[in-house]
Structure 1
Amino acid sequence: MSTSTQGEFHIPPGLTPELMQWLRTQMAAGVPAPSLLQSMRTAGWAEHLARRALALPEEGELPFPFAAAKAASGPAVSIEKSATGVPEPDLKTDPCSIKVGDREVHVLTSLSNPRVVVFGNLLSDAECDALIAEAKPRMQRSLTVDNQSGGEALNQDRTSNGMFFQRGENEVIRALEERIARLLNWPLENGEGLQVLHYLPGAEYKPHYDYFAPNEPGTPTILRRGGQRVGTLVMYLNEPTRGGATTFPDVGLQVVPRKGNAVFFSYDRPDPATKSLHGGAPVLEGEKWIATKWLREREFK
Structure 2
Amino acid sequence: MGVIEAAEAVRRRFSTVPGLFKVPAPGVEMYVLRDFLADKECSALIALIDEGREPSRLLAHTGDPEFRTSESCNLDPTHPVVRAVEKKIAQVMSLDPACGETIQGQRYAVGQQFKPHHDFFFTTEAYWPEQERNGGQRTWTAMMFLNAVEDGGQTQFPEAKVRITPRKGNLLVWNNLDEHGAPNMTSLHQGMPVIAGVKYVITKWYRERPWTPSLAAATTLY
Query: TM range, normalised to the smaller chain?
Result: 0.7 to 0.9
Residue 92 of structure 1 and its aligned partner are, at CA, apart by: 7.1
Q: Which residue of 1 aligns with 2:93?
A: 184
Q: Indicate whether 1:290 and 2:201 are aligned.
A: yes
Let me know the Cα RMSD of the aligned residues: 2.5
Equivalent position amino acid for 1:90 in 2: R
Is the alpha carbon distance of 1:147 and 1:181 closer, same or farther for their aligned partners in structure 2, counting shifts above 3 Å? farther
CA deviation profile, 1:36-92 (whole Å, cap 9, x unmatched): xxxxxxxxxxxxxxxxxxxxxxxxxxxxxxxxxxxxxxxxxxxx8886333724367
Aligned residue identity for 1:110: V
Q: 2:49 aligns with which of 113, 135, 160?
A: 135
1:147 is displaced (CA, Å) by: 7.7
Residue in structure 2 matched with residue 211 of structure 1 by the alignment: 120
2:183 aligns to what? 271
Are 1:212 and 1:228, in contact at CA under 8 Å, matched by a contact in 2? yes
Say yes or no: does 1:258 pair with 2:176: no
Whether the aligned pair in 2 keeps the contact of 1:228 and 1:297 (CA below 8 Å) is: yes
Query: C-alpha distance in 2, partners of 1:132/1:120?
Result: 18
Alpha carbons of 1:155 and 1:165: their partners in 2 closer, same or farther (altered >3 Å)? Answer: farther
Question: Which structure is higher in RCO with an 8 Å CA cutoff and minimum separation 6?
Answer: 2
Q: Which runs of 5+ in 2 are unaligned?
A: 213-222
How far does the alpha carbon of each residue in 1:150-169 deviate from its partner, in whole angstroms, 9 at most, with x for none?
xxx99631110110024x32
Structure 2 CA distance, aligned partners of 1:134 and 1:225? 26
**Aligned mates of 2:170, 2:107 — CA distance in 1:** 16
What is the distance in 2 between the residues matched to 1:218 and 1:82?
21
* Post-superposition offset of 1:236: 0.3
CA distance, structure 2, for counterparts of residue 174 and residue 89 of structure 1? 24
Instruction: Give the partner amino acid of 1:163.
Output: C
Q: Among 72, 85, 89, which residue is 2:6 paired with? A: 85
Q: How far apart, CA to CA, are the structure 2 residues paired with 1:119 and 1:154?
A: 34
Which residue number in structure 1 is paired with residue 71 of structure 2?
161
Per the TM alignment, residue 250 of structure 1 is displaced from its structure 2 partner at its CA by: 0.6
Percent identical among aligned pairs is: 31
Distance 1:154 1:251 in 2: 24
Query: Which structure has the larger Rg?
Result: 1
Matched, 1:146 2:57: no
Displacement of 1:188 in angstroms is: 1.2
Length-normalised TM-score, structure 2: 0.84
TM-score, with length taken from structure 1: 0.63
- AA paired with 1:247? Q
**Conserved 8 A contact 1:129-1:237:** yes
